[in-house]
Chains A and B, each alone.
Chain A
Amino acid sequence: MTLNQQRKLKTILTGLFAWTVALVLFFPIFWMFITSFKTELQAISVPPSLFFEPTLDNFRIVQERSDYIHHAWNSVVTSFGSTIIALVIAIPAAYSMAFFPGKRTKDILLWMLSTKMLPAVGVLVPIYILCRDYGLLDSKTALVIIFTLMNLPIIVWMLFSYFKDLPKEILEAARMDGATPWDEVVKVVLPLSVGAISSTALLSIVLCWNEAFWSLNLTASDAAPLTAMIASYSSPEGLFWAKLSAASTLACAPIVIFGWFCQKQLVQGLTFGAVK
């Protein structure tokens, strides 16, 4: 084999591998999507039917049984609200740790990450009792607070690692030009980090959107986001695969579309630091 052929083969193999991985990852979503257009009987048939007459019945039933707009609005408020609050806290935190590191900065970062190592269920009871005592059960406020705290370590980490890569001299130049710390952040750091901040925000929104544990345990109906709505279809009356799939498709759709629009920022964010 010539070197050129070897190279071609390598490209083909790499492509094949990438496609396999992508398809494996995408398959469950694809399956969910097509199942939502099946009848309940088709949905549980073995072997599964690939060719069938699609129906929109499931979507109609889901619309009748639950108030999609209500749940979607709850999801929007909790995920966007908590993300904004988390960013407001995380940006100054990451800024000070990246540009004025102390002896304990690394320890603080690790400690923050360590809070993610505790299984959520471990603190369910105390948090449930706290919410109950403060009248926050089934309230969006409770979810916003929990989501904010839940994602804060990840957001601080992501912003910290981006800020750390910003050339320090640029901030020093701003300082020599008479910039106060506020000017430095608002006029230099933020404009330079638009990509990183948007991708971090997007990640946080997605994580909140898909969060189920706290949503299920702390809400019932008033504040229940889309994840709680989906769960209501795996109910005591039995599993309804097709309706569950329809509900899930409806729940995923907004965030997938949103993510699609933010794709450019996201890719830039996930590869930041690579080209500098």
Chain B
Amino acid sequence: MTYLAITDLQKHYDSYHALRGINLSITEGEFVVFVGPSGCGKSTLLRTIAGLESSTGGSIELDGRDITEVASSKRDLAMVFQSYALYPHMTVADNLSFALRLAKVSDAEIKEKVRSVSASLQLDALLERKPKELSGGQRQRVAIGRAIVRQPKVFLFDEPLSNLDAALRVQMRLELARLHKKLGTTMIYVTHDQVEAMTLADRVVILNAGQIEQVGTPLELYRQPNSRFVAEFIGTPKMNLIAANKIIRQEETLAIELLGQQIHFPANRLKGPLPDSVVVGIRPEHMSLVESGGDLTGRIELVEHLGSEAYAHLQLSSDQTIIIKAPARTELKDGQEVSLKIDISEMILFNKNDRVISVIPEEV
């Protein structure tokens, strides 16, 4: 059942149209991540939900109540900011209890709640310290604790991990995932880091230029993007894109000419009419090296060894390079000529408007 419903939400700043009609429904307990390049409107959308920005059209409904015009302080949402935004003049304990004190909760109850939250976030020893005496990771835990202690209807996270170093970020990401499992509260999380989005989210909302580009589970977005934008945004290294200028329908298959060689794509996986030209999308792991007779041939330009795997950059023609995934202990050498087989079942076709015009076959 819908818990948070956003309907045709608009936000204008003078002449700039930041949110262009956002429609989204979130169910209770879901972990939803807003992701997109900078300036796509993800933070604006979160801040509008929080009430820190006013909307210029549309509505937001939370748990059956229209909160579009309700003040932030009365929305019953908690937010964790990128800069932590702790109260510098208060101790950790006072930071944690600030909201409860404002809500006139009894002293005994405050004490109990602060105790249980600080225990679960390992802040017990720090309760009497001021924020300036804490490390970045500790500050972030206090900020999270401050949000948890209130038991709000929804948690809002605005790029909470981007000020932390890489190792700490991975650790905090895991803690957040555990926290969500434990509390079961609805969480909305904004990030520009697609790895965070993929690992944390039940559902990912990809935003682009103030509009929702696609909503889906991380795997749906990875396997079945509906636009070139999503396909390129999700996945590292990026999906390979190769332009094909000639397509012929041959009974059950489409013959697509890729750099002089033909590949055959099942015709029943094409949505809509046959286009004049397509761009073929293949992820690096969906191509394999073969002795001979592959779909593509190229020359190895560079091999990157990551330890657990390797990525080879291949020059297919003078202006086309692609990346393929290779086993960790690959024997590939720079300058070597290789032949590639494409996993047609994972291949995606884009039309010239960058929309996806193929479907992925259901998994067997």
Contacts and interface: CB of A to CB of B under 8 A. Distances in A.
A116 B78 CA distance: 45
A44 to B, nearest CB: 56
B146 A172 contact: no
Interface stretch (A7-15, A136-144, A173-181): A173-181
A274 B102 CA distance: 32
Contacts of B146: 173, 177
B326 to A, nearest CB: 45
A188 interface: yes
B344 interface: no
B89 interface: yes
Interface string A166-197: 01011011111111100100011001100000
Contacts of B88: 170, 192
Interface string A147-180: 0000000000000000000010110111111111
B102 A183 contact: yes
B89 A173 contact: no
Interface stretch (B58-66, B79-87, B312-320): B79-87
B72 interface: yes
B73 A179 contact: yes
Given A177-B99, A183-B102, A172 B87 contact: no
Contacts of A176: 50, 52, 72-73, 77-79, 156
Contacts of A177: 73, 78, 98-99, 102, 146, 150
Interface string B314-334: 000000000000000000000
A169 B102 contact: no
Contact of B85 (A170, A180, A187): A170
A191 B77 CA distance: 25
Given A172-B52, A174-B98, A192-B88, A180 B73 contact: yes
B103 interface: yes
A167 B82 CA distance: 12
The A interface, classified by DSSP as helix, strand, loop or mixed, is helix
Nearest to B88: A192
A178 B78 CA distance: 9
Contact of B79 (A173, A187, A188): A173
B83 A178 contact: no
Given A173-B81, A188-B87, A178 B50 contact: no
Contacts of A183: 102
B99 A172 contact: no
B103 A178 contact: yes
B102 A178 contact: yes
B87 A174 contact: yes
A245 to B, nearest CB: 45
Given A176-B79, A177-B102, A170 B87 contact: yes
B79 A178 contact: no
A103 B51 CA distance: 21
A169 B83 contact: yes
Interface in B89-124: 89, 98-99, 102-103
Contacts of A169: 81-83, 85
Contacts of A173: 79, 81, 85-87, 146
B135 to A, nearest CB: 19
B96 to A, nearest CB: 10
A176 B87 CA distance: 13
Contacts of A170: 85-88
A203 B81 CA distance: 36
A175 B99 contact: no
* Most chain B beta-carbon neighbours within 10 Å: one of A175, A179, A187: A175
A52 B90 CA distance: 58
Nearest to B76: A178
B180 to A, nearest CB: 19
Nearest to B72: A175
B95 to A, nearest CB: 9
Interface in A237-258: none
B83 A175 contact: no
B150 A167 contact: no
B89 A192 contact: yes
B45 to A, nearest CB: 16
Contact of A175 (B52, B86, B150): B52
A173 B82 CA distance: 11
B83 A167 contact: yes
A167 B85 contact: yes
22 contacts: A167-B85, A169-B82, A170-B85, A170-B86, A172-B50, A172-B52, A172-B79, A173-B79, A173-B81, A174-B98, A175-B51, A175-B72, A176-B156, A177-B73, A177-B98, A177-B99, A178-B102, A178-B103, A179-B73, A183-B102, A187-B98, A192-B89
Interface of B: 50-52, 71-74, 77-79, 81-83, 85-89, 98-99, 102-103, 146, 150, 156
Which 3 pairs show the lowest CB-CB distances between chains A and B?
Answer: A169-B85, A177-B99, A173-B85
